[in-house]
Each structure stands twice: as C-alpha cells, then as structure tokens.
A = this chain, B = another copy of it.
C-alpha cells in the first residue's frame, strides 16, 4: 500500500485546510480586501503547501527508502528517482 493511501486521512485533513485557505483568499479578492491582508493570506497558503510537501516527502523516504520492510533494490531505485525528480523541481 502506498504511503499516501496509508496516511490518507492525515493528508486529506491538510489538503482540505489548504483548500479552505485558498477559498478564503478567493473571497478576500472578491470582497476587495486590502492588499496587505491578501499578501499575508497568500504567504500562509504557501507555508501550508510547503509543510504538506515536506510531510509527503518524509513519508516517501520512510516507506520506499528507509523502511525495514523495503528489501528490494528495485523499489528503492524507483523511490529514489521519484524523490530526486521532485527535489529538483522543488529546490530549483
């Protein structure tokens, strides 16, 4: 089972909180709130996405690379390639 399935309820809670932040941002724009408030809302949503990203990357490492049950070199090879690809995008 994938770690994003195993941790599904934890991750869905985080994603729904982020969706709530993005919806609040949309309402703030529609209501023509001040730009300082909107900048702070964007920064908060960005921080929440960064936190989610880090969480899923850590689960990925634990499951596919470090786990005691991860015995196959092929699984680790694939897990490493996926991690490195996202790190390259992320850490540009």
Which of A's residues lie within 8 Å of B, judged by CB? 2-5, 8, 11-12, 15-16, 18-19, 22-23, 25-26, 29-30, 32-36, 38-40, 42-43, 45-47, 49-50, 52-54, 56-66, 68, 70, 73, 76-77, 79-92
Nearest CB of B to A45, in Å: 6
Give the dominant DSSP class at A's interface: helix
Contact (Cβ within 8 A) A40 B8: no
CB < 8 Å: which of B49, B52, B65 contacts A76? B65
Partner of A46, one of B46, B64, B77: B46
Whether B77 lies near A58 (C-beta < 8 A) is no
Closest B residue to A46 by beta carbon equals B49
